[in-house]
Amino acid sequence: MRQMTLAHQAEFQRYSKKTRRELFLDEMDAVMPWAELQALVGAYYSKGEMGRKPVGLEIMLRVYFLQQWFSLSDPAVEDALYESLVPRRFAGIDLGRAPAPDETTILNFRHLLEEHDLGGQMLDAVNLYLGSRGIRITTGTIVDATIIHAPSSMKNENKEHDPEIH
């Protein structure tokens, strides 16, 4: 890993604590199959032959997953990368060396994934990778319902609002 610049340091802090977000991102960093995902998307990602130099593929993948995990829009994830060291560190962005990807770059990356139908393939690769390591991801819904008997209308027999019902 490259040595970090001073811009990569949030502050020179004496006291700190890992937040839930930081713990989550550390765990995702450890369990995600980054090499497989890069191989999957790399065939379609720009090599930089034309136009400006593309942002690194691993950075863009990590930004994409940040966006998905935290339900961030393109402008919101760009702002998050500038505002907080935690997502910036996870994505591998060092503002002392290069800017964070802008919202248009993030949008174009998402469109690339959609155009080549890579979202489902990426999910399959992640599930296969995690399954091979004994980690099972399932979804479900927990519903806590209480049945309350109440009138179906707030109007009385005369079809007027009943002042006793509130």
What DSSP letter does each residue of the chain carry, written as one string? -PPPPGGG-----S-----HHHHHHHHHHHHS-HHHHHHHHHTTS--SSSSSPPPPHHHHHHHHHHHHHTT--HHHHHHHHHH-HHHHHHHT--TTTSPPPPHHHHHHHHHHHHHTTHHHHHHHHHHHHHHHTT-----------------S-SB-TTSSB-TT--
Residue 106 within a domain: yes
The pLDDT assigned to 25 comes to 93
Domain of 39, in residue numbers: 18-132
Residue 68 within a domain: yes
Per-residue confidence band for 50, with pLDDT thresholds at 50, 70 and 90: confident
> Does pLDDT of 61 surpass 70?
yes
pTM of the model: 0.72
Of 135 and 58, more confident: 58
Residue 147 within a domain: no
Per-residue confidence band for 147, with pLDDT thresholds at 50, 70 and 90: low
Please check whether residue 77 is in contact with residue 83, taking contact to mean a CB–CB distance below 8 angstroms: no
> Does pLDDT of 128 surpass 90?
no
Residue 24 within a domain: yes
Q: Which range (47-51, 85-89, 145-149, 156-160) has the least confidence?
A: 145-149
The pLDDT assigned to 17 comes to 84
Please check whether residue 123 is in contact with residue 41, taking contact to mean a CB–CB distance below 8 angstroms: no
CA gap 68, 106 in Å, rounded: 12
What is the mean pLDDT of the segment spanning 51-80?
Answer: 92
Residue 156 within a domain: no
Which residue is listed with tokens 């593929």?
Answer: 57
Reported as a single tens digit per residue, the pLDDT across 68-115 is 999 999 999 999 999 999 999 999 999 889 999 999 999 999 999 999
Count of domains forming the chain: 1
Of 128 and 15, more confident: 128
Residue 114 within a domain: yes
Residue 26 within a domain: yes
Query: Nearest-CA neighbor of 91 among 143, 3, 25?
Result: 25
What is the mean pLDDT of the segment spanning 136-157?
Answer: 63
